[in-house]
């Protein structure tokens, strides 16, 4: 582009716009960044030069060694991972089935059932905690990961059903009618034709299900606070409560909780945004 | 919604329809709806020491709302929660809307990178975020003061999280920092759905980018703004993790940061010498439910009905 | 009211060039139509004039001012969009008043202008409605009204009729033509429909692949297409083309042989070195008639017959496999499978060289000429 064709107002506006965006990006990222770089420093360096990068002299992994020695981080990870993955799998399957039935079949009470299942989008499941605890105790599931999975499935279903129902309305009629004309059974239509088609929505639903579960403190605290069953969020919370004055250990434990999420986020952020902008959520 | 609704008569496929719906409906009912309803039921009962649970009518509510020991705590947490919500509405949502507006400017470079980075705090656990800020604002470390020094405001720095007057507002800002991503994402998505032609037409009509945003884009995404507001309301009146992580169940100093969620936890589980009481806990939960319900109903009937979603 | 001058306008997106140096003069009050197939760059050119796209290089003058870097609001233009782009949350009145309000005009002046435009476009009864409560044709009129109230120097129309049904399209086309006569304004109009171009334009700009193929009045383009592309694009049904060999070249005369026809002498100035080469002969369906009354004759078997009432189109397959369309009278009784002879006057022929450029015709008869 020849220089004279650039509008001056455009150029100055670009400076302002990028200035604002950069400033906010810095505000959003710098605190996280600060914690992560200091996790790799000696105790002295953390206090003497908190904003500096770790260098040959100040680099230290003592925080991480301590965390891994004094707590069961790998167990916390395993617990969080297990709970999250199993929950997502169950939510996706059950929500897809329900969404399919709601969007495809005319039956009495269809709308009422859809509304009933949507209540949970707005009403937080936490408010039922007193009875959930009683129920889990009665079922003998206290301090188990199963208890968390059951509650999280119930928590994840409403939004997942809602998103997938909207999505399934967009599946062309011809597809299922062609299958019916070929005499394919209703179960097979769902599992062989519909399930593969909803893949674009799966990423969105998975992310929306995953984040609140992975980050939750409340239910691990109430239902599975015991030794060896803590999730990563609860584990970090308990560990920091215990070693609050050990800065190396605190920073290292926070970094251990942050880094996997950041990596996952960077991998999936594209799908997340695409899901959002494709109108799956209104 | 443009679709025509379900098409296939279920009488041709009774068994599959039931099989598709049953698992989700049963788990959802058992672990979500039943506990919510049962919690409300429990709030009408009390267990005298050593005795059986007995129906006591509205006694628990009278205790929580009017008993001198309880009422002050309850109303303190309620008003704290309102302040918490007000900060989100006045700071978080306008910032989110403004950033979404800037990100949706035509021909902006690095749009996706900015968006990805700005949303990052939203992905982190509230607990982790609470600790991150606790460290940064800690006078022991002093990095907060160093950062303020860069913009020449070092003198303003203080132990904000520890002071009764500033603890709640500081925690609200931490929460805003984390959750700006939600209005940002949802409103950005809504802005993207506005056809380019509409923006071009306004530009040809003489509008600056700000005027396009103010007169055209913002009115068109207003339904989303309303939805974000109600999500904020529900989220705020259900908040717990941040306060618990940073200030513990006692929500100190001197209950200055106590909100409904922490009050619920203390009532239910007890703290220090006071024993937990499931019935009073259920009562607090039911009151939270009523508050959230009032907000949602207000949104559904007073706000959403009056907003027309324009076909774009 | 203003004139418009484009000087070597180039536009590229990264490495992709979409406009390759467009030159154009539009006189004050002229109705200019950009026409061409989709992707030819006509809409991009219109958006450049509007200021919605930057110019990569070249100059754009409106009313004598260089406007390359001016924003749309400072160019004195108004635009009507293909999708109408009405603001869905504003009433018809507010839609039309929006630009004037931004301009900080006083209320009474805005009101007067909006009502005047509403009167011209018969929107008086609809001023309080929202766009969603209007029919397609009404929305179209509001979009035009929004342009009129701004009293622009130049009106820009981007395929304004393509979202209307056929009947409404004809009616609105007439209204736009009437409007132009009334307002005497400079209009730049983009369409892919050559009928719209022919009926509306004072001047047509035929575009293809980011270049201007030809600029001229509708009749000039119809009778004197300078390229094979223009010849094929203007006119409906499209001009017939068939390959012929140049057998003999004389001053102002050229002899060609049509496959399945007889050698014909045509009035073109052709260079001697074209002798023996393959060129393309073009002739419009409406200039062919059944029988061998003309100098140019073709024989072929009738493939398809389309009866339109006032005329009948016969699709002939020639000996070389090319197809030729003939417009026969409506009462024609020719059947599929018949072999027929059709002919045209030599003056109706068009001849294009291997690069698609037209050879100059000499002594063009009045009925095949744009001269008046």
Chains B–C, number of C-beta pairs less than 8 Å apart: 66
pLDDT, position A8 = 66
Query: A51 CA to chain B: closest CA distance, Å?
Result: 8
Residues of A in contact with B8 (CB under 8 A): 104-106
Dist. CA A235–CA A257, nearest whole Å: 10
Tell me which of B26, B113, B123, B283 to substitute to probe the interface with A (most A C-beta atoms closer than 10 Å). B123
Closest to B80 measured CA to CA, from B226, B254, B245: B254
Tell me which of B206, B212, B219, B225 to substitute to probe the interface with C (most C C-beta atoms closer than 10 Å). B206
Q: Report yes or no: C92 and C131 within 8 Å, Cβ to Cβ.
A: yes
CB contact under 8 A, C68 and A5: yes
pLDDT, position A277 = 63
CB contact under 8 A, C71 and B203: yes
Residues of A in contact with B189 (CB under 8 A): 273, 276-277, 279, 281
Tell me which of A4, A9, A13, A14 to substitute to probe the interface with C (most C C-beta atoms closer than 10 Å). A4
pLDDT at A166 over 50: yes
CB contact under 8 A, C69 and A4: yes
Residues of B in contact with C103 (CB under 8 A): 206
Nearest to C99 among B205, B220, B311 (CB): B205
Neighbours of chain B (3+ CB pairs under 8 A): A, C
CB contact under 8 A, C56 and A4: no
Angle in degrees, CA C14, C17, C23, rounded to 5: 130
What percent of chain A is predicted at pLDDT more than 90? 46
Element (H, E) at C206: strand C203-208
CB contact under 8 A, B206 and C72: yes
Query: What pLDDT band is residue A175 in, cutting at 50, 70 and 90?
Result: confident
List where CATH 1.10.3720.10 sits in chain A: 67-277
Q: Report yes or no: C282 and C241 within 8 Å, Cβ to Cβ.
A: yes
Mean pLDDT to the nearest integer, A120-125: 92
Tokens 């994402």 identify what position? B185
The fold adopted by the segment(s) B59-304 is MetI-like fold (1.10.3720)
The fold adopted by the segment(s) A67-277 is MetI-like fold (1.10.3720)
Task: Nearest chain C residue to B222 by CA: give it.
Answer: C89
- Give yes or no for B108 touching A (CB within 8 A): yes
Query: B284 CA to chain C: closest CA distance, Å?
Result: 43
List where CATH 2.40.50.140 sits in chain C: 242-363
Residues of C in contact with A13 (CB under 8 A): none
Q: What is the pLDDT of residues C134-169, one digit of tens each?
A: 998 899 999 999 999 999 999 999 999 988 888 888
Task: Nearest chain B residue to C100 by CA: give it.
Answer: B205
pLDDT, position B2 = 42
CB contact under 8 A, A4 and C55: no
pTM, two decimal places: 0.88
Nearest to C78 among B197, B200, B204 (CB): B204
3-state secondary structure of B302: helix
Mean pLDDT to the nearest integer, C329-336: 89
pLDDT at A183 over 80: no
CB contact under 8 A, A5 and C54: yes
CB contact under 8 A, A124 and B177: no
Closest to A163 measured CA to CA, from A126, A207, A108, A106: A207
Superfamily of domain C4-231 in the CATH hierarchy: P-loop containing nucleotide triphosphate hydrolases (3.40.50.300)
Closest to B247 measured CA to CA, from B89, B86, B80: B80
pLDDT at A3 over 70: no
Residues 6+ apart with CB under 8 A from B78: B260, B291
3-state secondary structure of A270: helix
Q: Report yes or no: C298 and C316 within 8 Å, Cβ to Cβ.
A: yes
Query: What pLDDT band is residue A148 in, cutting at 50, 70 and 90?
Result: very high
Angle in degrees, CA B251, A39, A208, rounded to 5: 60
- Give yes or no for B311 touching A (CB within 8 A): no
CB contact under 8 A, B205 and C52: no
Residue A169 is encoded by which pair of tokens?
């309305």
Residues in chain B with pLDDT values less than 50: 1-3
Dist. CA B269–CA A42, nearest whole Å: 39
Dist. CA C361–CA C72, nearest whole Å: 44
- Scanning chain B, the segments in alpha helix (DSSP H) are 14-28, 34-42, 59-66, 68-87, 93-103, 111-123, 126-136, 143-150, 167-179, 181-192, 196-204, 209-211, 218-220, 222-236, 241-247, 260-269, 278-297
Q: Report yes or no: C156 and C188 within 8 Å, Cβ to Cβ.
A: yes
Highest CATH level, class, for C242-363: mainly beta
Q: What is the pLDDT of residues C201-231, one digit of tens each?
A: 999 999 999 999 999 999 999 999 999 999 9
Residues of A in contact with C71 (CB under 8 A): 7, 9
Q: Domains of chain B: which residue ranges?
A: 59-304
The verdict on whether omega for the bond into residue C164 sits within 30 degrees of 0, i.e. cis, is: no
Dist. CA C364–CA B52, nearest whole Å: 113
Residues of B in contact with A154 (CB under 8 A): 27-28, 30-32
Q: How many CB atoms lie within 10 A of CB C284?
A: 23
pLDDT, position B179 = 94
Residues of B in contact with A25 (CB under 8 A): 114, 117-118
Q: What is the pLDDT of residues C25-37, one digit of tens each?
A: 999 999 999 999 9
The mean pLDDT value of chain C amounts to 91
Tell me which of A12, A31, A281 to substitute to probe the interface with B (most B C-beta atoms closer than 10 Å). A31
Residue A206 is encoded by which pair of tokens?
């998975």
- Total residues belonging to chain B: 312
Task: Nearest chain A residue to C71 by CA: give it.
Answer: A7
List where CATH 3.40.50.300 sits in chain C: 4-231
Query: What pLDDT band is residue A280 in, cutting at 50, 70 and 90?
Result: very low
pLDDT, position B5 = 63
Dist. CA C279–CA C261, nearest whole Å: 16
pLDDT at C60 over 70: yes
């Amino acid at each position: 582009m020849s220089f004279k064709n650039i509008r001056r107002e455009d150029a100055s506006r670009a400076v302002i716009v990028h200035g604002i965006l950069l400033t906010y990006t810095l505000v959003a990222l710098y605190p996280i960044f600060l914690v992560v770089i200091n996790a790799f420093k000696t105790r002295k360096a953390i206090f003497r030069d908190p904003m500096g990068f770790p260098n040959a002299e100040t680099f230290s992994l003592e925080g991480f060694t301590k965390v891994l020695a004094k707590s069961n981080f790998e167990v916390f990870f395993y617990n969080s991972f297990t709970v999250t993955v199993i929950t997502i799998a169950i939510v996706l399957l059950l929500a897809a089935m329900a969404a399919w039935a709601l969007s495809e079949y005319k039956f009495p009470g269809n709308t009422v059932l859809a509304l009933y299942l949507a209540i949970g989008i707005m009403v937080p499941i936490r408010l039922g905690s007193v009875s959930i605890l009683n129920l889990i105790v009665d079922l003998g599931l206290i301090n188990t990961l199963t208890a968390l999975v059951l509650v999280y499935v119930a928590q994840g279903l409403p939004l997942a059903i809602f998103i997938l129902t909207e999505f399934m309305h967009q599946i062309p009629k011809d597809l299922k009618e062609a299958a019916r004309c070929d005499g394919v059974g209703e179960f097979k239509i769902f599992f062989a034709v519909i399930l593969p088609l909803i893949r674009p929505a799966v990423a969105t639903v998975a992310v929306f299900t995953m984040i609140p579960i992975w980050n939750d403190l409340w239910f691990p605290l109430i239902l599975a606070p015991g030794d060896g069953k803590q999730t990563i969020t609860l584990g970090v919370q308990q560990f920091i409560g215990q070693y609050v004055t050990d800065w190396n250990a605190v920073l290292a434990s926070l970094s251990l909780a942050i880094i996997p999420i950041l990596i996952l986020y960077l991998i999936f952020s594209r799908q997340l945004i695409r899901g959002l902008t494709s109108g799956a959520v209104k | 919604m443009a679709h025509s609704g379900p098409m296939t008569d279920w009488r041709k496929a009774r068994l599959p329809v039931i099989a598709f719906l049953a698992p989700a409906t049963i788990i959802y009912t058992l672990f979500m709806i039943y506990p919510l309803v049962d919690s409300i039921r429990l709030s009408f009962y009390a267990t005298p020491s050593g005795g059986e649970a007995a129906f006591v009518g509205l006694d628990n509510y009278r205790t929580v709302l009017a008993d001198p020991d309880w009422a002050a705590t309850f109303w303190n947490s309620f008003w704290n929660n309102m302040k918490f919500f007000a900060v989100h509405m006045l700071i978080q949502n306008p910032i989110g809307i403004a950033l979404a507006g800037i990100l949706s400017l035509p021909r902006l470079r690095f749009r996706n990178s900015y968006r990805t980075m700005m949303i990052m705090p939203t992905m982190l656990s509230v607990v982790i975020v609470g600790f991150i800020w606790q460290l940064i604002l800690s006078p022991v470390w002093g990095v907060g003061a160093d950062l303020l020094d860069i913009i020449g405001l070092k003198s303003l720095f203080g132990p904000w999280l520890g002071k009764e007057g500033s603890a709640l507002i500081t925690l609200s800002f931490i929460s805003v920092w984390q959750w700006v991503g939600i209005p940002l994402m949802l409103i950005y998505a809504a802005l993207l759905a506005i056809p380019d032609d509409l923006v071009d037409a306004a530009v040809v009509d003489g509008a600056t980018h700000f005027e396009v945003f103010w007169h055209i884009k913002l009115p068109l995404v207003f339904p989303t703004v309303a939805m974000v507001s109600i999500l904020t309301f529900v989220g705020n009146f259900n908040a717990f993790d941040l306060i618990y992580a940073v200030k513990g169940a006692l929500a100190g100093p001197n209950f200055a940061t106590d909100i409904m969620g922490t009050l619920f936890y203390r009532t239910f589980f007890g703290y220090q010498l006071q024993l937990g009481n499931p019935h009073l806990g259920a009562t607090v939960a039911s009151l939270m439910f009523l508050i959230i319900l009032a907000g949602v109903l207000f949104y559904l009937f007073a706000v959403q009905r009056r907003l027309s979603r324009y076909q774009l | 009211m203003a004139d418009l001058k484009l000087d070597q306008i180039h536009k590229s997106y990264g490495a992709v060039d979409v406009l390759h140096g467009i030159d154009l003069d539009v006189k004050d009050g002229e109705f200019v139509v950009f026409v061409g197939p989709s992707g030819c760059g006509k809409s991009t050119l219109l958006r450049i004039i509007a200021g919605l796209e930057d110019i990569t290089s070249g100059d754009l003058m409106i009313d004598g001012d260089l406007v390359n870097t001016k924003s749309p609001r400072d160019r004195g233009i108004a635009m009507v969009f293909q999708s109408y782009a009405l603001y869905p949350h504003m009433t018809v009145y507010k839609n039309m008043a929006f630009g004037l309000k931004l301009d900080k005009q006083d209320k009474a002046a805005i009101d007067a202008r909006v009502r005047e435009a509403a009167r011209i476009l018969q929107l008086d009864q609809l001023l309080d409605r929202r766009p969603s409560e209007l029919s397609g044709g009404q929305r179209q009129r509001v979009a035009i009204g929004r342009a009129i109230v701004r009293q622009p120097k130049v009106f820009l129309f981007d395929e304004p009729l393509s979202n209307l049904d056929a009947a409404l399209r004809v009616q609105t086309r007439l209204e736009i033509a009437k409007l132009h006569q009334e307002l005497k304004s400079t209009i730049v109009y983009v369409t892919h429909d050559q009928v719209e171009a022919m009926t509306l334009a004072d001047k047509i700009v035929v575009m293809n692949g980011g270049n201007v193929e030809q600029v001229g009045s509708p009749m000039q383009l119809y009778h004197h297409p300078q390229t094979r592309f223009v010849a094929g694009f203007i006119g409906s049904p499209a001009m017939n083309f068939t390959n012929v060999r140049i057998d003999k070249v004389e001053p102002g005369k050229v002899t060609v042989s049509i496959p399945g026809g007889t050698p014909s002498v045509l009035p073109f100035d052709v260079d001697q070195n074209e002798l023996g080469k393959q060129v393309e002969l073009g002739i419009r369906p409406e200039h062919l008639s059944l029988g061998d009354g003309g100098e140019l004759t073709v024989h072929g078997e009738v493939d398809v017959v389309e009866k339109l009432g006032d005329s009948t189109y016969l699709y002939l397959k020639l000996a070389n496999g090319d197809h030729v369309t003939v417009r026969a009278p409506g009462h024609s009784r020719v059947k599929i499978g018949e072999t027929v002879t059709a002919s045209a006057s030599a003056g109706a022929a068009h001849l294009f060289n291997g690069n698609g450029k037209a050879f100059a015709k000499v002594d063009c008869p009045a009925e095949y000429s744009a001269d008046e």
